[in-house]
């Protein structure tokens, strides 16, 4: 239990008051009567401390105590400090087979909070596809089973932000077949005309720091792509460590960093969709996705890799100026 700061102040104030009374000889010093009187008075004063000062979280760091970088104000964060289900105010879930012909079946039970971290766990386990149809041309229906399960958390409809600093501290499993990501999509428009920003993405030995927007062909993106091989970091222990991925996004540009190393800069003067509408998808709010995909179009073959695999997230924070 934490003693509320307000209660400490109250006790100090009460002690000072008691000393004044003693000086006036209105309270007999050394009297056994003093203790219950003192306790009763103290408890009365504690009861008067405002609720806001008393109900500090029992664990974790209150948002107000986080140190915002100079010129930035913290506007939202999830510290994942409460064990159990991820906060439903912030996160919903993708379900089943979703994109890129990936191997995993997404389900909420592969994500939870534990010890201050969000854990997304990919497992090698068979899951029957309730949409299975052997005659279907759609890969999401033609597969009878998924050979893996995992989770994808989405802040769509819950938390979305336009411009600012987006920051994620996490640890990613970089073994073969794994494809973790922390990325954003614009709230309006069909992909890719809604705009995609890959703040953290990893597959086949590389970090990706990509921005994508629409072209004159439906479902075809224009990419400002950057690949950063992990070997560039010259650290054999890189994957065992936590790292900080960051986006600084303003009306002129998007800059993507890992551990303060700038990976990619995209100028928003160039990110006009090539479709008839010609919108710029980076002048709208974007929601966030945290997921651990397996295999599929880019992840590589997961077959030789022992499972489970985890993507752990210490926090996601959004700052604005
Ligand atoms: Ca945390």
pTM (whole model) above 0.85: no
Q: Domain count for the chain, please give it.
A: 2
Cα(147)–Cα(294) distance, integer angstroms: 10
| Statement to judge: residues 191 and 258 lie in one domain | yes
Same domain, 49 and 133: no
Residue 116 main-chain phi, psi, to 5 deg: 85, 5
Domain co-membership, 199 together with 149: yes
CA distance 305 to 204: 13
Q: Look up 196 and say whether it is catalytic.
A: yes
Q: Cα(219)–Cα(226) distance, rounded to whole angstroms?
A: 21
Does residue 3 register a pLDDT over 60? no
In angstroms, the CA 120 to CA 30 distance is 61
**Cα 250 to ligand 1 centroid, rounded to whole Å:** 26
One of 103, 121, 167, 201 is an active-site residue; which one? Answer: 201
8 Å CB contact between 307 and 122: yes
Q: Do residues 184 and 234 both lie within one domain? A: yes
Whole-number mean pLDDT of the chain? Answer: 86
Q: Quick one: 90 and 35 in the same domain?
A: no
* Ligand 1 centre distance from Cα of residue 257 (Å): 20
Percentage of the residues of the chain whose pLDDT score is greater than 70: 79
> What's the 208 CA to ligand 1 centre distance in angstroms?
24
Pair (87, 176) in one structural domain = yes
Q: Residues 250-261: pLDDT tens digits?
A: 999 999 999 999
Asked if 141 and 264 sit in the same domain, the reply is: yes
- 91 with 38, same domain: the answer is no
Q: What is the pLDDT of residues 267-297, one digit of tens each?
A: 999 999 999 999 999 999 999 999 999 999 9
Q: Is 201 noted as a catalytic residue in this protein?
A: yes
Q: Is 206 found in the same domain as 127?
A: yes
Query: What is the span of the domain harbouring residue 279?
Result: 63-320
Q: Answer whether 80's CB lies under 8 Å from 314's CB.
A: yes
Same domain, 74 and 50: no
Ligand 1 centroid distance, CA of 79 (Å): 4
What CATH number should be reported for the domain holding residue 136? 2.60.120.200
pLDDT in tens, 210-240: 999 999 999 999 999 999 999 999 999 999 9
Q: Same structural domain for residues 39 and 182?
A: no
> Which candidate in 103, 121, 167, 196 is catalytic?
196
CA gap 19, 23 in Å, rounded? 6
Cα–ligand 1 centroid distance for 82 (angstroms): 9
Checking if the pLDDT of 76 tops 90, the result is yes
């Amino acid at each position: 239990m934490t003693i509320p700061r307000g209660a400490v102040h109250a006790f100090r104030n009460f002690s000072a008051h008691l000393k004044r009374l003693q000086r006036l000889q209105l309270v007999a010093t050394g009297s056994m009567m003093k203790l219950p009187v003192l306790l009763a008075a103290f408890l009365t004063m504690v009861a008067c401390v405002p609720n806001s000062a008393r109900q500090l979280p029992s664990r974790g760091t209150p948002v107000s105590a986080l140190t915002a970088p100079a010129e930035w104000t913290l506007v939202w964060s999830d510290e994942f400090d409460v064990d159990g289900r991820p906060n439903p105010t912030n996160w919903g879930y993708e379900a089943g087979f979703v994109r890129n012909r990936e191997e995993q079946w997404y389900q909420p039970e592969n994500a939870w909070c534990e010890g201050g971290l969000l854990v997304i766990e990919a497992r090698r386990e068979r899951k029957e596809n309730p949409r299975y149809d052997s005659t279907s041309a759609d890969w999401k229906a033609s597969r009878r089973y998924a050979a893996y399960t995992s989770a994808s958390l989405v802040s769509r409809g819950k938390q979305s932000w336009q411009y600012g600093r987006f920051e994620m501290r996490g640890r990613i499993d970089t073994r073969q077949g794994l494809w973790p990501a922390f990325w954003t999509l614009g709230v309006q428009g069909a992909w890719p005309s809604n705009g995609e920003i890959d703040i953290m993405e990893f597959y086949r030995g590389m970090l990706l720091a990509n921005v994508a927007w629409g072209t004159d062909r439906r479902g075809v993106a224009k990419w400002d792509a950057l690949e950063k091989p992990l070997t560039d970091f010259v650290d054999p222990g890189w994957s065992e460590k936590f790292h900080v991925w960051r986006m600084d996004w303003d009306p002129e540009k998007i800059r993507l960093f890992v551990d303060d190393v700038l990976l990619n800069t995209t100028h928003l003067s160039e990110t006009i969709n090539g479709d008839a509408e010609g919108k710029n998808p980076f002048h709208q709010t974007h929601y966030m996705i945290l997921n651990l995909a397996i295999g599929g179009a880019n992840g590589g073959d997961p077959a030789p890799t022992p499972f489970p695999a985890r993507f752990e997230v210490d926090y996601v924070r959004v700052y604005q100026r």
